[in-house]
Structure 1
Amino acid sequence: MSAAPRELEQRAQDARSRLADDVDLWVATSGAAGPHLVPLSHLWDGSRILVSTARSTVTARNLVLDGRVRLALGQTRDVVVVDGTAELVKPADLEPAAGDAFAAATGFDPRRLAQPYVYFWVRPWRIQAWREENEIGGRDVMRDGGWLA
């Protein structure tokens, strides 16, 4: 038996907590070769999500060509899905505080690697959160970049 559905306010708070507390997420992009899905570490700054990947990856190429991205966090019975737009940030242009916060949160500092890495700030425009079928209706907790609760 499923638990009672959470109210919108609780789902929005749970989504913010997952964004802040989880280290890794799934990044889905699309390009000439079709859809691409990879796990990456991330940092949530309260309004944007910072991810990093090697400059030569399919993910980086796709995001540079088409900044649309879908992110997923959590388990299948407690999921947060983020649709957003990614903006390329070269390591030299990343605010030092953001780079330090990313390294502290993820245990991984791309600025220290020999292989060239890039960062992407993802600005969410839609976030959905649900656990069970009874939360599918009304699963949007953010629309058009604004929290609904």
Structure 2
Amino acid sequence: MTAPDSPSTGPRSPQRRKREALERLAKDNDLWAATADATGEPCLVPLAFWWDGEAVWLSTRETNPTGRNMCASGRVRLSLGHTRDVVLVHGTARMLTRDELPAEVGDAFAAKDGWDPRESHPSYMFFRVVPQVLQAWGTVAEMTGRTLMRDGKWLV
């Protein structure tokens, strides 16, 4: 979660990038979620999230473009951090209604964010996003080796 090492020490190791990506998933409060509709119209929104160690949990209204797009395609890209220290996740999304949501997931999401979608408007749904590809890099020096997960399996 820091900038890459100085040029004299070179880019961060893949192990360090994995550790820092996992720290970001555990500690950050918000991320950017990118989806597209059937015509390719993009949608990019900030969302609160909770990481359970295997999947990213999001909540948005089923009627919002992001919710509709994830329901229709099951695909989403998530971005955490800033442009000089980014974690990019390509994932598969599955919607869960409030009734399907495990209580412990809803409780953990609410505790982390301080907001409980289950108590908001009934159109809020939850989405479980399973990472298929995870990349982390800071600058051009870290472009090589930025893919830390492929096909849902850690490479590091």
Shorter-chain TM-score range: over 0.9
Aligned to 2:56: 49
Return the match for 1:111 from 118, 128, 131.
118
Runs of 4+ that moved beyond 2 A: none
When the two structures are superposed, what TM-score results if normalisation uses the length of structure 2? 0.92
Quote how far apart the aligned CAs of 1:115 are: 4.1
Q: How many residue pairs align between the two structures?
A: 149
Secondary structure at 2:99 match in 1: helix
Residue 58 (1) aligns with residue 57 (2)? no
Q: Please list every run of 5 or more consecutive structure 1 residues that lacks an aligned counterpart in the other structure.
A: none
> 1:104-126, CA deviations, whole angstroms, 9 ceiling, x for partnerless residues?
11111000013420000000000
Q: Please list every run of 5 or more consecutive structure 2 residues that lacks an aligned counterpart in the other structure.
A: 1-5
Secondary structure at 2:54 match in 1: coil
Residue 11 (1) aligns with residue 5 (2)? no
Q: Kindly report which structure 2 residues correspond to 1:122-141, keeping only aligned pairs within 5 A, or say none.
A: 122-141=129-148
Aligned to 1:22: 28
Read off the aligned partner of 2:34 and give its amino acid letter: A
Note the aligned Cα RMSD (angstroms): 1.2
Quote how far apart the aligned CAs of 1:72 are: 0.2
When the two structures are superposed, what TM-score results if normalisation uses the length of structure 1? 0.96
Task: Report % sequence identity.
Answer: 47
Residue 94 (1) aligns with residue 92 (2)? no
Aligned to 2:3: none
Aligned to 1:35: 42
Secondary structure at 2:59 match in 1: strand
Quote how far apart the aligned CAs of 1:148 are: 1.4
> 1:113-146, CA deviations, whole angstroms, 9 ceiling, x for partnerless residues?
1342000000000000001110001100111101
Q: Residues of 1 paired with 2:14 and 2:121: CA distance?
A: 45
Q: Residues of 1 paired with 2:155 and 2:19: CA distance?
A: 11
> 1:25-58, CA deviations, whole angstroms, 9 ceiling, x for partnerless residues?
0000010351110000000000100000012101
Read off the aligned partner of 1:137 and give its amino acid letter: T
Read off the aligned partner of 2:147 and give its amino acid letter: D
Q: Residues of 2 paired with 1:145 and 1:66: CA distance?
A: 18
